[in-house]
Amino acid sequence: MTPFESSRQQFPRGFTIIGTGRLGSSLALRMHNKGYQIRSLYNRSLESCERIASVTETEIFGTFPARPADLGDVVFLCLPDDQIGPFAKKMGVVKEGPAWVHTSGATPADVLLPLSPDGSGIASMHPVQTFTIRNRESAFNQCFVTLQGDPGLCVPLEKVIQAIGGRPLMVDSRQKTAIHLAAVYVCNYMAPLFAASQDLLDDNGLEVRARDLFGPMVRQAMDGLLSHSPAEVLTGPVLRGDTGTIDRHLQVLADSPKWEHLYRVLGKATLELAQSLENRNHAADDEMMKRFSGT
């Protein structure tokens, strides 16, 4: 039996999605296109939910579930993180109700305890992916999706994840937070680094966008980082021990002090990474460390 067939058998009444924003709409479309029944859809504002419902052929939709019978076997709560707990409290325990699953990366499954005080039938299911616009169903391809919560629910949800093209990963609540935190470094924190880059160009009279100027180089660097370890792809003045270049950078940063601290912190981390490499000349390391430490 395929993952799709076995999960469809396990959840014959289909699925409900509450919150048809970036992730919820993408999940609804993906599940529908893979053959699952989207039994009902709900969203704070009716318009976006109505639009998705017409595509997923979902007849039951609205702003809040009116009757337990309208819910599928599994309800995905694709709500802003801070709305999940209040929603669970508002909904309360539904007798002989569905399983409840939220999609937040940073919130443990037990935020759903108001829906099931003994913890049965609740879980979190977090796609480790960024959904920047609504209806981005292809983003599930090969995407890791963490599962945490009631094992009796997580095991069949693994099949659903496989059937929509994702890669399930069982985690406990601490590991879930660690994954979310680790993702912040490689994804979220890229944005301020690009902002720093643009400010430095602007502050020095360069009328060019950082993304245009550095695009080809960033793509090369990303290709390297996605196929090798971080230390293996290291280049630049720290690896070479070019203390004079670091001094010149710091002189320019004297006029853009907002980004100086970040430069020193990341310089120190880069030096520590370089020091893990064998066959490297360490002669300039102490001098570089002094500059990054500001001593």
Contact set with ligand NAP (CB under 6 A):
18-24, 42-45, 48, 78-81, 83, 87, 103-105, 126-127, 129-131
CA angle 89/92/96 to nearest 5° reads 155
Whose Cβ is closer to ligand NAP: residue 42's or residue 259's? 42
DSSP E strands, the chain: 15-18, 38-42, 60-62, 74-77, 99-102, 122-127, 144-149, 167-170
In whole angstroms, how close is the CB of 107 to ligand NAP at the nearest point? 7
For the chain, helix, strand, coil in percent to 5 are 55, 10, 35
One DSSP character per residue, 254-275 reads: TT-GGGHHHHHHHHHHHHHHHT
Contact at 8 Å (CB) between 108 and 90?
A: no
* Nearer to ligand NAP among residue 131 and residue 292 (C-beta): 131
Please identify, using beta-carbon distances, which residue of 161 and 200 lies nearer to ligand NAP.
161
The enclosing H or E element of 109 equals none
Minimum distance of ligand NAP from residue 156's CB (angstroms): 20
The CB-of-162 to ligand NAP minimum distance in angstroms stands at 18
> Which of 44, 280 has the CB closer to ligand NAP?
44
Which of 18/154 has CB closer to ligand NAP? 18
The burial class, CB within 10 Å (0-12 / 13-18 / 19+), for 220 is exposed
Bridge partners, 122 (sequence order): 100
Q: For residues 119 and 285, give the distance between their C-alpha atoms in angstroms, rounded to a whole number.
A: 53
CB of 169 to ligand NAP, least distance (A): 14
Q: How far is the CB of 267 from ligand NAP (least distance, A)?
A: 31
**Nearer CB in complex with ligand NAP: 87/259:** 87
Give the residue closest to ligand NAP by C-beta.
Answer: 21
Backbone angles phi, psi at 147, to 5 degrees: -125, 130
Minimum distance from residue 280 beta carbon to ligand NAP (Å) = 38
State how beta strands 144-149 and 122-127 pair. Answer: antiparallel
Shortest Å distance, C-beta 244 to ligand NAP: 43
Q: Which is nearer to ligand NAP, 38 or 79 (CB)?
A: 79
Residue 100, sorted as left (phi over 0), alpha (psi -120 to 50) or beta, turns out to be beta
